[in-house]
Amino acid sequence: MPELPELEALRVRLGPRLEGQLVTAAEVSPRRAHLLRYPPESFAHELPYRRFVRTWRRGKHLLFDLELGGGGDLRHLVVNPMLGGRFHLTGGGQPPPATLVFSLRLEGGGELRFLDAAAMSRVYWTPDPARDVPAWTAMGPDADRLPELGLGGFRRRLRRYRDELKDLLRNQAFLAGLGNAYSDEILWEARLLPLRRRATLTAEEEEALFGAIQTVLERSVRAILDHPGYQESKQDRHFMNVHGKGGRTCPRCGHRISQLGSGRGPGREPFNFCRGCQV
């Protein structure tokens, strides 16, 4: 599932290639039309002749701002990729894959495709995400904006909750953009066990968590963008220390990495941690 670092990398890579481009045609796949929270025929009719003006991110959503004419009519294409959503900017001409949700043909001959093998994503076409995207207004600050919040603001926000740390980091009302994978990495970086209760943290551990969130997100975005084989349509997490590595050796202490969760059913994604150096 794409989380904040993957979506931030997409914003960095796709934004400059799309901004200023004119959409000349839009197509919605009948197989995936139910993923649009907007009538598919209206979507296909309204996107053409709009120009990309901005690409941005909010939590686990990637947004494309498109305007018609000289800026008098701005609308937002909001995509929550969920489990299997992927973007692919092609040169055009290739046959669309069976996982296609929608495609936008561009004036220069390219094509922006959104694919979803899991058929779980959510796509919105709206003048106002706060009105039309569920839970938009309930989202907390983006997790990569902690320097603006500061350690004091982070502590005040943190102390509103009683959750286990793993659940807290995945709670979009606490911080937006984190999920199963990066919460594993952050807790490993902070040397905190995922099942610890928030109320058990010392002031030093709160500060360690604050620093770990920033460190992991910055390092991860950099690793994704620096990978020589980067492709926006693929997800590569080769740089992770514990997530998805149950049974392997912890790179910090040499202890065996543990895994909990069956992976069967919502909220049961397997998560990983090290009992040797997380406390």
Give catalytic residues, as residue numbers.
2-3, 60, 268
Closest CA to 209 of 194, 231, 228, 225: 194
Q: Report the DSSP pairing between strands 73-80 and 122-126.
A: antiparallel
Among the listed residues 181, 8, 153, the one whose alpha carbon sits nearest the alpha carbon of residue 83:
181
- Dihedral pair phi/psi, residue 128, rounded to 5°: -150, 95
CB count within 10 Å of CB 109 equals 11
CB-CB neighbours of 9 under 10 Å: 22
Other residues' Cβ atoms within 10 Å of the Cβ of residue 248 = 13
Residue whose token pair is 């040797």: 276
Q: Which amino acid is at 137?
A: T
Beta-bridged to residue 139, according to DSSP, are none
Bridge pairing between strands 111-116 and 100-106:
antiparallel
Q: Angle between the 180-190 and 203-226 helix axes, to the nearest 10 degrees?
A: 130
